[in-house]
């Protein structure tokens, strides 16, 4: 019997119900804060964008941010929300000042949804506006007005203060990672010279924009000083790395970090190659021209169109109504400014040409090996020896699900078998290692194609020519937590840092946390990821409990593994410190033994007695 379809089947959700039921439509994926594109950071960004827009409009040179015990506070000194509209701005969809494009024609957020999504997805949300010697405070919870206070006299400086706590019903077991927030705030500072952001007492300020960005993020020496080019609505910074061979880009639109690039980045890469070719009068291969480039580009577009609500990829083809295309605008700028620079700085031009010729030689030397390697990778994939892929690449999944695409890199048949059987076949893939990978520190790119494991892993990720074609948003190292598993992790991280550092720098590499203990009685089972969690579980269950110490991933059944790679997955991001260079890091940990490393190991040894006590239950 078919289901009845009547008026009773149709209902209308109010704004907050819709946001809470379909949060992915508004903030991308949810996550627990372990990834930089998780929802809690999007909430912070949505609030910050409003404060940044005030600075762009010439009001408020300081923004204060604090995060303590999950409570986020953002205070700006802009004009302040009109007091009679505080409730509407925070809780009525399609309400805001940004529809007047004269006032906010180059703003990031134009749809009037951002701060409402923050409100709806927060267990508590407070907004305070101050202007004209008066203030108004409104308290919400999950989008519902709790307290609508009357307008009062105030001696506070004008501006807006927003305080919110993300809702744990939506964001399970979340945590804020300070490094992600600092990266976000530095980007705001680079793109808004003269703006001061204070985060938990730390100051973020830039005088030289994208030039500062590159200087602060360079990984080792460069071939020539940074080329810094600016004009109205566009800024570019360019140099070449001395040590790395991969391309590295930072791209922005209207102050938004477009981590997935878009039409502006594609246009810049094309314009750079064309300008260099024209300058030297040589039709160099595009990959040779761009090899080892480190560049940043920022443009301002009227009413930009992004490919998702999280605004990580620009889709606009035009700079605005009745304005040139993004491609034409960027090409004309680069052609004029970069060509002029190269003519005025022949020594830099000479260095760039030498780097191109070096890249050309390397490419030709590798051509035969790469061809054989591709054929080998294709054959291996056909026989499904190493990679068990997910369906995301063959189905039209929504954008928020594409952010979930994950490749687990596992060791051994038992571990890969458990993950394969328990994974989400739509978004999760498995790559199975055979034994320990090679220590690739100090080796050339040639080894990537000659070593079967490395070659097949590179092919599975599709990163040979950069991250443009990266097939998985999350690359997860799933190894045992014993000495051998740790060593495999280290060797894999070395491989990525040596040959594909952008995978790590762009926040795609993680380590899977799996439980050390299972504590259970007849009624309940608790999985514990540390000794402290194990002790707490014993206290909670009390009485007679069974405690299992997991020694390796292969011991965990597929039914149990579903808990650890599903919605409650715990991931530790692999991050580089701001002042850490890859070369120094690899030399210290993976180079030949040195007195410094021996001293480090001895200083960090845990005595055998302590380890035995930890194992004793």
Residue 553 near residue 414 (C-beta atoms within 8 A): yes
The better pLDDT of the pair 609, 601 is held by 601
User: What integer pLDDT is reported at residue 412 of this predicted model?
Assistant: 75
Domain limits, CATH 3.30.565.10, in the chain: 16-204
Tokens of 75: 């205070």
Query: 468-526, pLDDT tens digit by residue?
Result: 788 999 999 998 877 888 889 999 999 999 999 989 988 999 999 988 899 999 889 99
User: Contact at 8 Å (CB) between 213 and 237?
Assistant: yes
Work out the pLDDT band at 588, boundaries 50, 70, 90: confident
Compute the 3-state secondary structure of the chain and give helix, strand, coil in percent, each to the nearest 5.
Answer: 40, 20, 40
Name the more confident of 93 and 119: 119
The span from the CA of 26 to the CA of 36, in Å, is 16
Which residue has better confidence, 552 or 301? 301
Q: Which fold has domain 210-363?
A: Ribosomal Protein S5; domain 2 (3.30.230)
What span, in angstroms and rounded, lies between the C-alpha atoms of 484 and 287? 38
Assign 610 a pLDDT band (cuts: 50, 70, 90): very low
CATH number for domain 16-204, candidates 3.30.450.40, 1.10.287.40, 3.40.605.10, 3.30.565.10? 3.30.565.10
How far from the centroid of its chain's Cα atoms is residue 508's Cα? 7
pLDDT in tens, 256-299: 888 888 899 999 999 999 999 999 999 999 999 999 999 999 99
Q: Which of 148-162, 165-179, 203-217, 549-563 has the lowest mean pLDDT?
A: 549-563
pLDDT reading at 223 higher than 70: yes
Identify the residue with better confidence: 470 or 102: 470
Q: What is the DSSP string of 413-447?
A: HHHHHHHHHHS-TTTEEEEEE-SPPP--TT--THH
**Mean pLDDT, rounded, for 90-104:** 59
pLDDT at 168 over 70: yes
| Nearest CA among 247, 275, 450 for reference residue 349 | 275
Tens digits of residue pLDDT in 367-405 = 888 887 777 777 766 555 688 888 876 655 555 567 789
Strand 525-528's sheet: what is its strand order?
525-528, 517-520, 546-549
Assign domain 384-514+552-615 to a CATH class. Answer: alpha beta
Residues of each domain in the chain carrying CATH 3.40.50.670: 384-514+552-615
Q: Where in the chain is the domain with CATH 3.30.230.10?
A: 210-363
Average pLDDT of the chain, as a whole number: 86
Higher-confidence position of 558 and 227: 227
Q: pLDDT confidence of 593, banded at 50, 70, 90? A: low
pLDDT at 326: 93
Q: What is the pLDDT of residue 1?
A: 47
pLDDT band at 28 (very low <50, low <70, confident <90, very high): confident
pLDDT, residue 209, reads 97
């Amino acid at each position: 019997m078919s289901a009845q379809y009547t008026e009773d089947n149709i209902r209308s959700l109010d704004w907050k119900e819709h946001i809470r039921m379909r949060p992915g439509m508004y903030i991308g994926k949810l996550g627990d804060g372990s990834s930089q594109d998780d929802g809690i950071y999007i909430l912070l960004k949505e609030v910050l964008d409003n404060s940044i827009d005030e600075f762009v409009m010439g009001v408020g040179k300081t923004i204060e941010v604090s995060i303590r015990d999950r409570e986020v506070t953002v205070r700006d000194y802009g004009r302040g929300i009109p007091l009679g509209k505080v409730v509407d701005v925070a809780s009525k969809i399609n309400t805001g000042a940004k529809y007047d494009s004269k006032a906010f024609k180059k703003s990031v957020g134009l749809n009037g949804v951002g701060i409402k999504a923050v409100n709806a997805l927060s267990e508590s949300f407070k907004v305070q506006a101050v202007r004209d010697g008066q203030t108004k405070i409104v308290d919400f919870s999950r989008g519902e007005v709790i307290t609508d206070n009357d307008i009062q006299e105030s001696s506070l400086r004008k501006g807006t203060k927003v305080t919110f706590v993300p809702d744990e019903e939506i964001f399970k077991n979340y945590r804020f990672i300070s490094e992600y927030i600092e990266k976000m705030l530095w980007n705001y500072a680079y793109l808004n010279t003269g703006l001061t952001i204070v985060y938990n007492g730390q100051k973020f300020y830039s005088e030289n924009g994208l030039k500062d960005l590159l200087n602060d993020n360079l990984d080792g020496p460069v071939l020539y000083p940074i080329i810094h080019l600016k004009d109205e609505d566009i800024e570019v910074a360019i140099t070449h790395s001395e040590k790395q061979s991969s391309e590295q880009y930072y791209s922005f639109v209207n102050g938004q970090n477009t981590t997935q690039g878009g039409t502006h980045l594609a246009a810049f890469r094309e314009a750079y190659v064309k300008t260099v070719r024209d300058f030297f009068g040589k039709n160099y291969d595009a990959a040779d021209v761009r090899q080892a480039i480190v560049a940043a580009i920022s443009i301002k577009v009227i009413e930009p169109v992004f490919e998702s609500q999280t605004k990580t990829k620009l889709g606009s083809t035009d700079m605005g109504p009745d304005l040139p295309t993004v491609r034409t605008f960027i090409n004309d700028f680069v052609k004029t400014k970069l060509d002029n620079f190269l003519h005025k700085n022949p020594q830099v031009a000479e260095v760039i040409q030498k780097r191109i010729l070096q890249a050309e030689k390397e490419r030709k030397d590798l051509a035969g090996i790469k061809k054989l390697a591709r054929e080998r990778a294709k054959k291996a994939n056909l026989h499904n020896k190493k990679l068990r892929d997910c369906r995301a690449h063959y189905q039209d999944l929504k954008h928020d699900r594409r952010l979930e695409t994950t490749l687990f890199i596992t060791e051994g048949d038992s571990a890969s078998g458990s993950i394969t059987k328990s994974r989400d076949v739509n978004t999760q893939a498995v790559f199975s290692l055979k034994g320990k990978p090679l220590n690739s520190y100090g080796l050339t790119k040639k080894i990537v194609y000659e070593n079967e494991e490395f070659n097949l892993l590179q092919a599975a990720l599709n990163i040979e020519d950069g991250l443009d074609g990266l097939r998985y948003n999350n690359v997860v190292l799933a190894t045992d937590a014993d000495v051998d598993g740790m060593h495999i992790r280290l060797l894999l991280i070395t491989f990525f840092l040596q040959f594909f550092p952008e995978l790590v720098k762009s926040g795609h590499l993680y380590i899977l946390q799996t439980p050390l203990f299972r504590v259970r009685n007849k009624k309940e089972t608790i999985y514990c990821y540390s000794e402290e969690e194990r002790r707490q579980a014993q206290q909670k269950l009390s009485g007679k409990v069974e405690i299992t110490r997991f020694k390796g991933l292969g011991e965990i059944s597929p039914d149990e593994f579903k808990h650890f790679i599903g919605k409650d997955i715990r991931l530790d991001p692999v991050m580089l410190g701001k002042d850490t260079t890859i070369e120094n890091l690899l030399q210290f940990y993976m180079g030949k033994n040195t007195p410094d490393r021996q001293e480090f190991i001895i200083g960090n040894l845990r005595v055998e007695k302590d380890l035995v006590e930890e194992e004793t239950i």
